[in-house]
Amino acid sequence: MLEVCNIDTFYGKIQALWGVSLRIDEAEIVALVGANGAGKTTLLNTISGLLCPASGSATFLDKRIDGLTPHYIAELGISHIPEGRRLFPVMSVRENLEMGAYTYHAWKRKEETLEEVYRVFPLLKEREGQLARTLSGGEQQMLAMGRGLMSRPRLCMFDEPSSGLAPRLVLEVFKVIKTLREQGITILLIEQNVKRTLEIADRAYVLENGRIVSEGKSSELLQNNHIKKAYLGL
């Protein structure tokens, strides 16, 4: 579904990604693991078009997407649920959700999608008229995820969705991700909770200092000595 090939991304003169390659098949959950500053967010931003790679390519459903604008990439079916949620604080829950449907295809099906999103997150329906900034951290994350679904994506990329949440809500976030996959959505997941992430992912890539240093089935990475020591504290 998505093939990233040999990507180099820079911030000015500083190189943040070095020859990064990654593949995601349809209906997979793929995890991207790495310490702070490894380049995980930079890779997501490069895929969604917020950053343009200096070299390399990204192909989504057989179409080159590197160098395309973010709104066009969203239109093609990639949704990016960004780190730190990035809600519109003085808009209501419903308005935030509607903002997620601003692609040509999704806008026409906005009401129907809204019902689907409310089925996944009943709480958002209850809070429909409330301003986003007055929601709790967990509710805000649900809203960010809901907004990401409003474009009716084929691939959802989540950047640390459980960050800052209480343990019960962390479980809830992982449950939602599993539900989405059961509904046929493909998932690229960045998470600090490496053990739990590898437990739900099919495959994973490990990013260190802007380079992919290992990749494989999650079950195998869970047994890998370097991963155990560096990320699982074993």
Ligand X SMILES: Nc1ncnc2c1ncn2[C@@H]1O[C@H](COP(=O)(O)OP(=O)(O)O)[C@@H](O)[C@H]1O
Q: State the residues that interact with ligand X by CB under 6 A.
A: 11, 14, 16, 34, 36-42
In sequence order, which ranges of the chain are alpha helices (DSSP H)? Answer: 40-47, 70-76, 93-99, 104-108, 110-120, 122-126, 137-149, 167-182, 194-200, 218-221, 225-231
Q: In 10 A of CB 197, how many CB atoms?
A: 22
Q: What's the closest the beta carbon of residue 11 comes to ligand X, in angstroms?
A: 3
Q: What's the closest the beta carbon of residue 207 comes to ligand X, in angstroms?
A: 7
Instruction: Please name which of 107, 118, 113 lies closest in space to residue 143, comparing C-alpha atoms.
Output: 118
Using the minimum distance from each CB to ligand X, give the nearer residue, 98 or 160.
160
Number of residues that bind Mg ion (CB under 5 A): 3
Q: What angle in degrees, to the nearest 10, is found between the helix axes of 110-120 and 137-149?
A: 140
Candidate list 9, 32, 39, 41; residue touching Mg ion; CB under 5 A: 41
Both structure tokens of 71: 């709104």
- 61 SS3 class: coil
Q: Which residue is nearest to Mg ion (CB)?
A: 41
16 binds, among ligand X, Mg ion, none (CB under 5 to 8 A by kind): ligand X
Backbone angles phi, psi at 53, to 5 degrees: -70, 150
Using the minimum distance from each CB to Mg ion, give the nearer residue, 35 or 61.
35
- According to DSSP, the residues that pair with 31 across neighbouring strands are 189, 204
Instruction: Please name which of 92, 176, 86 lies closest in space to residue 127, comparing C-alpha atoms.
Output: 92
Using the minimum distance from each CB to ligand X, give the nearer residue, 32 or 176.
32
Using the minimum distance from each CB to ligand X, give the nearer residue, 40 or 85.
40
Contact between residue 185 and residue 154 where contact means Cβ atoms under 8 Å apart: yes
49 binds, among ligand X, Mg ion, none (CB under 5 to 8 A by kind): none
Question: What does the per-residue mask of binding to Mg ion show for 187-216, with x meaning CB under 5 A?
Answer: ------------------------------
Question: What does the per-residue mask of binding to Mg ion show for 96-115, with x meaning CB under 5 A?
Answer: --------------------
Using the minimum distance from each CB to Mg ion, give the nearer residue, 22 or 117.
22
Which residues contact Mg ion (rule: CB under 5 A)?
A: 40-41, 83
